[in-house]
Amino acid sequence: MRYLFISDLHLEAERPDITRAFLSFLRERAATADALYILGDFFEVWLGDDDPNPLAREVTTALAQLANRGVKVFLMHGNRDFLIGRRFCREARCTLLSDPQRIELNGEPVLLMHGDSLCIDDLGYMKMRRWLRNPVSRFILRNLPLKTRYRIGRKLRAESMARTRLKPSDITDVNLGAVADVMRKFKVHTLIHGHTHRPAVHDLMLDGQPAQRIVLGDWDKYGWVLTIDQNGQQLESFDLT
């Protein structure tokens, strides 16, 4: 079995190079896998499944074609695309995962997360996250006129970028205590997440036992993918061209 994990592509019309690289990735690498996991921030912004964005339609079709080839596709909400809903998943033929999500890979339990809920030292972000992820808030946002959602999306994006530039890097990274707590709760020794844009494999000790936290990279100057198969695991970058 061969599993691929990606996150933080931030697909948008302004970065056609990333979209081209992703579509090529689906045709050339994902097509030979058993499953593809996309762990959040797949899109730079998602305003609802009713948005007639041509990019969204192109990506939806590509994912459905991959699924039609027998590759299982799994998707998790990120902080940028938490409004992805059932219609998109149905048309893209992908399964929406909860966050966190515990799965089994090669007989071992593994925990999947987007990763933003682990950044508990960023108090302002966590407050905003609680409001945006509230079911009532999401219901209201989904039912606003599309033009209003576009305006809100631009405002939230600009504010997020401004806050991130001003905050120390340790504030916007995960809290290691929160990492240990969630791994204990779900009884795993491997955690895979994205969000922080700091790709790495972190070896750690959890209650006297070796454990790992694998951080996926964002697609910007390079693409990133984690491959797990019978030979082990490999986190690698690749050119977007």
Parent domain of 134:
3-239
Whether 172 shows a pLDDT value over 90: the answer reads no
The mean pLDDT value for 97-126 works out to 95
Looking at residue 158, its pLDDT comes to 78
Looking at residue 164, its pLDDT comes to 67
Q: Is residue 122 annotated as involved in ligand binding?
A: yes
Q: Is residue 203 annotated as involved in ligand binding?
A: no
Please tell me the total count of domains within the chain.
Answer: 1
Give ∠ CA 74-80-84 in degrees, rounded to 5: 50
Q: Is residue 148 annotated as involved in ligand binding?
A: no
Question: What CATH number is given to the structural domain containing 172?
Answer: 3.60.21.10
Q: Is residue 197 annotated as involved in ligand binding?
A: yes
Report which secondary-structure segment, H or E, holds 97.
strand 95-97
Q: Is residue 195 annotated as involved in ligand binding?
A: yes
Relative orientation angle of helices 16-28 and 54-68, to the nearest 10 degrees: 10
Residue 127 DSSP class: H
